[in-house]
A = this chain, B = another copy of it.
């Protein structure tokens, strides 16, 4: 029977049919648990996210789930709330349930901790965030490039004073984006970059903007470290009656609001999240099969600038529109929907 179920080569046609006949009649189903016991794997992957309800995690989860299905893996999703403690408990729990490997996509820098618990680094693939420790396997976006594209875009629109609302310092996603921002500004004279601290929350966006607007010389454009923070920025500007993009332009990262582009129209840099999810599974699965000769598997995906209404249009009020050439830079996508009015 076992040979028939597994489609083994050396089974006579007639026997095979007889067995399948019997399987039908008895409603027999092979026990996946017994198989797992013998093979030593459950074909289940753990996906660690900060919080499935925020940002782009649902998209990532979908991409991961789809690819995993193709490879016959189950995906167990776990929220870590970016808390060390919770992460530890969750990883422990997944391990105790017998997951074969992890895709670790939450944002904080807890790679040492997770690797220590899991034991085998070949069972962990980092996605979305680049681990600080060398030698890890990962699939990430090029955050530095992403920030460059965005900053460049704003400078092309004539902005010379740009604010950046950052995330926590232990999140490489944030530090890399800040770095790309600052590098790009430094390459261009007569530009000023302001960086405000934040924590990935919309509130940190509101707070950062509020402080700048209360200051003597606010920026004419604001970049938020991700789209959630950008929402906070937009809310605060809205509360104060500041027009976007006429008075201040706004942009974010991740394209987490793509489905609302008609209403919100936030300029952003899209991570290729479908590719990220797909590759994450592919690499992890090959790792679990020991197909990768012990080399660290590291992939960096190209981000894509998505220009929408919150930056589109005219140059900032203070600066004269010099050297403005909107759109069609190599990596950019113009996504103008309709002129915006009132929701």
A residues sitting closer than 8 Å to B (CB atoms) are 27, 29-34, 36-37, 40, 42-44, 51-54, 57-59, 61-62, 65-66, 69, 72, 74-79, 90, 93-99, 119, 202, 228, 231, 234-235, 238-239, 241, 243-244, 257, 259-260, 262-265, 309-310, 338, 340-343
27 A–B contacts from the bound complex (CB under 8 Å): A29-B95, A32-B98, A33-B33, A33-B36, A33-B37, A33-B40, A36-B36, A42-B42, A44-B44, A53-B59, A58-B58, A61-B77, A75-B76, A202-B259, A202-B262, A231-B259, A235-B263, A238-B342, A243-B341, A243-B342, A257-B260, A260-B260, A263-B263, A263-B343, A265-B343, A309-B343, A310-B343
CB-CB nearest in chain B for A30:
B96
| A31 surroundings in chain B (CB, below 8 A) | 37, 98
- Select A260's contact among B62, B119, B231, beta carbons within 8 Å: B231
B238 touches A340 (CB 8 A): yes
- CA–CA, A295 to B98, complex, Å? 33
Beyond the given A43-B97, A72-B93, could you list 20 further A-B residue pairs with CB under 8 A, ordered by the A residue number? A32-B97, A33-B37, A33-B98, A36-B37, A37-B37, A44-B44, A52-B58, A53-B59, A53-B62, A53-B259, A66-B79, A72-B97, A74-B99, A231-B260, A235-B262, A235-B263, A238-B262, A238-B340, A260-B264, A343-B343
